[in-house]
Structure 1
Amino acid sequence: MDLREKEMRSNRAAVYSSAVDTTGKPLFCDIGLAERIERAEVQLITKGSAAAHRRNGDGRGFLKPIAGGVAAFAEHASPLNKVAGLGFGGMPDDGLLDEVEQAFADRGAPVQVELAHVADPAIGAALTERGYRLTSYENVLGFPLSAVHERFAPEGIEIRPSGEEEFEAWLEAVADGFAHPDTQGVPSHEEFPREVIAAAVRDLVGAAGMRRYSAVCNGAVVGGASVRMTDGIAQMTGAATAPAHRRRGIQTALLAVRLADAAAAGCDVAVVTTQPGSKSQENVQRQGFHLLYTRAILVKQT
């Protein structure tokens, strides 16, 4: 083993020991916790979509409350186009579902529902009867936050809050990282152009009250991440590292600083969404995150 590999393993071991849930008890997700997380997701999608509507000003976007969730169309081909948060506010009305489906059809977009498996099971059955097909899954993992979490930075990397003066460099690093995902695990059923990802991230950061962090190497931003805090939930709203700087512990360090700041701000749970079996899921589980629930991705072509 060469010196660089030893250093990388040492860095990973150090952050693992500082971030892992030392109680060893799995974080149990009851209906109340799932509802809190889904409510935070609805807020996030709503704020990001509304920002896209303001940016475009063409009147094509929409936000429709539906049974405790939201149907959102931000703009063409956006990752924010979806129905989120169903299952905790009663059964969606058939007439409103008709309206939502027609609204997506008018914009040439499919309807994508992200339905938590702990939600009312009658909703999944009703959607299937309406022609929705199971397309994919995504996992929601959680970490119980205590009062103190340690920060960490790999050798040669500075992890710091990201100021407005470097926003474009931060956005470039994040968009570049998302445009080149790791290929481990179940492939995503969606792919988005780099410019669409950048627009969505810009809207979310500007409207949703996120805290941004940069990973800096030799003066250049080589990675970035963000967190949104609401109702005691710390949403790990994306982290990415430039391909040339991966496998150095940057993602782990970006996670550690966000956990520390979320704990200091009084959040009790941190959550992250990953593709099943992905490198991202492996990384966060190694640091103490527990699988809370899975969202089924149900799609209806309009």
Structure 2
Amino acid sequence: MNTPLFCDADLAGRIELAEAQLIEATVRATHRRLGNGRGFVIPVAGGLATFADDDSPFNKVVGLGFGGVPTADELDELEQAYAAVGAPVQVELPHLADPEIGITLSRRGYELESFENVLGIAIADRYDVTLPDAIEIRPSGDEELEVWLNVMADAVAVPDTQGVPWREEFPHDTYIDAERDAAAADITRYIAVRNGEIAGGAGLRTTKGIAQFAGAATLPTHRRHGIQSALLSTRLADAATAGCDVGVITTQPASKSQQNAQRNGFNLLYARAVLVKARQ
């Protein structure tokens, strides 16, 4: 049995840096695609404030907590930037971050809206993957990008009802565009096949020893047949091959995704509080 991974502030900072780099790469891909000059990436206290496009899931402040407390001037700058594009300010703040940051944001009118969980696992040197009968997991190349995008969008459009629901929902086209831009951030894509039919998909990004399990989704008719666990175990094996020592996955609290991750050896490392300041 694997020993649960212990997460201290150093490991959390390492994970949050990888997350910020993923968001930045995705947002800059959106900027290149649109070319309208509205987007921004603003460094702030070791993290980033990013705006990709209207209603994008990548409009947020990430990576705060391990590079000092943002100053009033820094917060003024990013709040003005979001106000200029008509967007609220959404901060994803790890509970292992400097507690002074939460106090500072609360005093400026930020309100707690939700939580998300970051789970992790110490990756073994190698994995022997045995998939259930009738299930195949394979890489999905650029020639299959449109298929992968639509499978993911169709799957997330019918969310699993277990656990706390996602606070945000995005239109089909918005989700497609966001995932297309994320594909530019060195994410390896996977397709799950069950009984000869495409059943779901997932992503994996590896950077500096961190394996980011970048989303996974199963079409409703194929749920409860081991697809999620098969996608997880396959990506764990690939992360080990890539030399990663830590794997991370972000889930909603008490969700089916969290349950599947814990069945595969992940444990809860920390939670992120989602703090929002409404449009000015």
Same fold (TM over 0.5): yes
Q: For the residues of structure 2 that align with 1:146 and 1:169, how far apart are their CA atoms?
A: 32
Q: For the residues of structure 1 that align with 2:196 and 2:28, how far apart are their CA atoms?
A: 34
- Check whether the contact 1:36–1:231 (CA below 8 A) recurs between aligned residues: no
| Structure 1 residue aligned with 2:116 | 138
1:170 to 135, 141, 148: 148
- Check whether the contact 1:150–1:257 (CA below 8 A) recurs between aligned residues: no
Q: CA deviation at 1:180?
A: 1.4
Q: CA deviation at 1:158?
A: 1.6
The answer to which structure has the higher helix fraction is 1
| Structure 1 residue aligned with 2:191 | 214
Q: CA deviation at 1:204?
A: 0.6
Q: CA deviation at 1:166?
A: 1.6
Q: For the residues of structure 2 that align with 1:278 and 1:238, how far apart are their CA atoms?
A: 13
Residue 261, structure 1, aligned to residue 238, structure 2: yes
Residue 34, structure 1, aligned to residue 12, structure 2: yes
Task: List, as ranges, runs of 4+ consecutive aligned residues in structure 1 with deviation greater than 6 Å.
Answer: none
Q: CA deviation at 1:165?
A: 2.0
Q: For the residues of structure 1 that align with 2:197 and 2:37, how far apart are their CA atoms?
A: 39
SS in 2 for 1:271: strand
| Structure 1 residue aligned with 2:80 | 102
| Structure 1 residue aligned with 2:263 | 286
SS in 2 for 1:237: coil
Q: For the residues of structure 2 that align with 1:152 and 1:269, how far apart are their CA atoms?
A: 21
- Check whether the contact 1:153–1:250 (CA below 8 A) recurs between aligned residues: no
Q: CA deviation at 1:219?
A: 4.7
| Structure 1 residue aligned with 2:132 | 154
Q: C-alpha root-mean-square deviation of aligned residues, in Å? A: 1.1
Q: For the residues of structure 1 that align with 2:249 and 2:267, how far apart are their CA atoms?
A: 10
Q: CA deviation at 1:212?
A: 1.0
The higher radius of gyration belongs to 1
| Structure 2 residue aligned with 1:9 | none
SS in 2 for 1:147: coil
- Check whether the contact 1:174–1:224 (CA below 8 A) recurs between aligned residues: yes
SS in 1 for 2:138: strand
1:55-94 correspondence runs (5 A): 55-94=33-72
Q: For the residues of structure 1 that align with 2:254 and 2:128, how far apart are their CA atoms?
A: 27
SS in 2 for 1:222: strand
SS in 1 for 2:247: strand
1:235 counterpart letter in structure 2: Q
Q: CA deviation at 1:163?
A: 1.8
Q: For the residues of structure 2 that align with 1:301 and 1:114, how far apart are their CA atoms?
A: 15
**Which segment is superposed worse, 187-196 or 114-123?**
187-196
Q: CA deviation at 1:218?
A: 5.2
| Structure 2 residue aligned with 1:10 | none
- Check whether the contact 1:63–1:70 (CA below 8 A) recurs between aligned residues: yes
Q: CA deviation at 1:189?
A: 1.3
Identity of aligned residues (%): 61
| Structure 2 residue aligned with 1:239 | 216
Q: For the residues of structure 1 that align with 2:108 and 2:142, how far apart are their CA atoms?
A: 46
